A = this chain, B = another copy of it.
Amino acid sequence: MSARPGRLVVALGGNALLKRGERPSSDAQRRNVRVAAAVIADLARHRGPETGLVVTHGNGPQVGLLARQSELSGGLPSPLDELGAQTQGMIGYLVEDELRDRLPDGREVATLLTQVAVDAGDPAFERPTKPIGTALPQAQAESLARARGWTIALDGEQWRRVVPSPEPIRILEQRSIELLLDAGVVVVCAGGGGVPVVPDPAGGWRGVEAVVDKDLSSALLAQAIDAEALLLLTDVDAVYRDFGRDTARAIRCATVAELRSEHFAPGSMGPKVEAACRFIEGGRGRAPRLAAIGALEDAARILRGEAGTRVVATD
């Protein structure tokens, strides 16, 4: 497949929708989505009508909130796959609402529910690592773990449920996404990394109690549709060496090999760096690609190479 100039995948961090420490509310979410939508509309304007624009997003805070509501309501707890699909609908709706009529050239926007195939034999299923839902005191967490078969782990001073985070293998709606992109539609998809599913021996597919990292899914999608650029947007302005220490310094540009030799926070900057590295590695022998990590509000400048952290091929 030849490179398609202009396809751009923009991954919004969960914190672009509900900021760290912010009290969750519909109003707060709307306000944050409006800021993200303005950034995306701006990107669409800068890049022109030929750019196929994909918007992906996290769902960590939202899925946590829904899981908690489901727990507190006393009914049967909702399975994670259904909760993930719910957040895709809800966040996609908000992004669509704020983006529609703000896009240049009369471009349309559509949200496509996304499922991602994973391997039922992925070693991640033996070793759950991804915390979800409410942080609880040890006794309560242990009691829930026994009752529901959860794995729990210490997160700060409290305990949370942890679930497997298997590797994304294939975006099942890829063809539909490309059909819409080719028609100029801005596509919101792969929310929360997509609902992880495996083929059901009885026919059809079934969801698994797991969460796929949304940055890795975004990189997989960007690779599959041969995007020109992958922007991983979050609430920090760059990848840092020694993040949080006095010696911290922003990385402006680094090779895949350099980044792979360092350690970044799992579940946070780690997957972003890995996603950017995979996308650049997958571009060998193809047209030049851009993979960059930075702050939402710097998106246009990141795309022009004036902000954020840019990941380049090793040789």
Chain A residues at the B interface, C-beta cutoff of 8 Å: 24-26, 34, 37, 65-66, 68-70, 72-76, 78-79, 81-82, 85-90, 92-94, 96-102, 108, 110-113, 115, 172-173, 175-176, 179-180, 183, 185, 188, 195, 197, 199-200, 203-207
A96: which of B79, B82, B113 is its contact (CB, 8 Å)?
Answer: B113
Across the interface, do B180 and A97 meet the contact criterion of CB distance under 8 Å? no
Copies in the complex: 2
In the complex, the answer to whether B185 meets A179 with C-beta atoms within 8 Å is yes
Q: With A24-B76, A93-B207, A110-B112 given, name 10 new contacts (CB 8 A).
A: A73-B73, A82-B93, A85-B93, A86-B90, A101-B199, A101-B204, A102-B203, A110-B173, A176-B185, A179-B185
- Counting chain B CB atoms within 10 Å of each CB, the highest count among A34, A69, A183 belongs to A69
| Residues from chain B with Cβ under 8 Å of A92 in the complex | 85, 89, 113
* Most chain B beta carbons < 10 A, residue from A79, A88, A89, A179: A89
Q: Are A97 and B115 in contact (CB under 8 A)?
A: yes
> Which residues of chain B have C-beta atoms less than 8 A from A199's C-beta?
101
Contact present for B75 and A24 (CB under 8 Å): yes
Closest to A83 in B: B90
User: Contact: A97 with B179, CB < 8 Å?
Assistant: no
CB-based contact B90/A115 at 8 Å: no
Q: Please pick, from B89, B100, B185, the residue contacting A87 in the complex, using a CB distance under 8 A.
A: B89
- The answer for the CA separation of A70 and B179 in the assembled complex, in Å, is 36
CA separation between A183 and B185, bound complex, in Å? 15
Give the residues in chain B near A175, CB-CB below 8 Å: 108, 183, 185
Looking at the assembled complex, report how far the CB atom of A66 sits from the nearest CB atom of chain B, in whole angstroms.
Answer: 8
Q: Which of A102, A113, A179 has the most CB of B within 10 A?
A: A113
Say whether A76 contacts B25, CB under 8 Å. yes
Pick the residue among B86, B100, B180, B183 that contacts A172 (CB under 8 A).
B100
A26-B78 in contact (CB<8A): yes
By the criterion CB–CB under 8 Å, are A68 and B73 in contact? Answer: yes
The 8 lowest CB-CB distance pairs between A and B, nearest first, are A89-B89, A85-B93, A111-B113, A86-B86, A69-B73, A110-B176, A72-B73, A85-B89
Residue in chain B with minimal CB distance to A29: B82
Which residues on B sit within 8 Å (CB–CB) of A188? Answer: 113
User: How far apart sit A73 and B67, CA to CA, in the bound complex (Å)?
Assistant: 11
In the complex, the answer to whether B72 meets A74 with C-beta atoms within 8 Å is: yes
- Asked whether B115 lies within 8 Å of A112 as measured between CB atoms, the reply is no
Among candidates B100, B113, B176, residue contacting A204 with C-beta atoms closer than 8 Å: B100
* In the complex, residue of chain B having the shortest beta-carbon distance to the beta carbon of A89: B89
Q: Kindly state the separation between the CA atoms of A315 and B308 in the bound complex, as whole angstroms.
A: 68
Closest B residue by C-beta to A110: B176
Q: Chain B's nearest CB lies how many Å from the CB of A93?
A: 4
Contacts of A98 in B (CB 8 A): 204
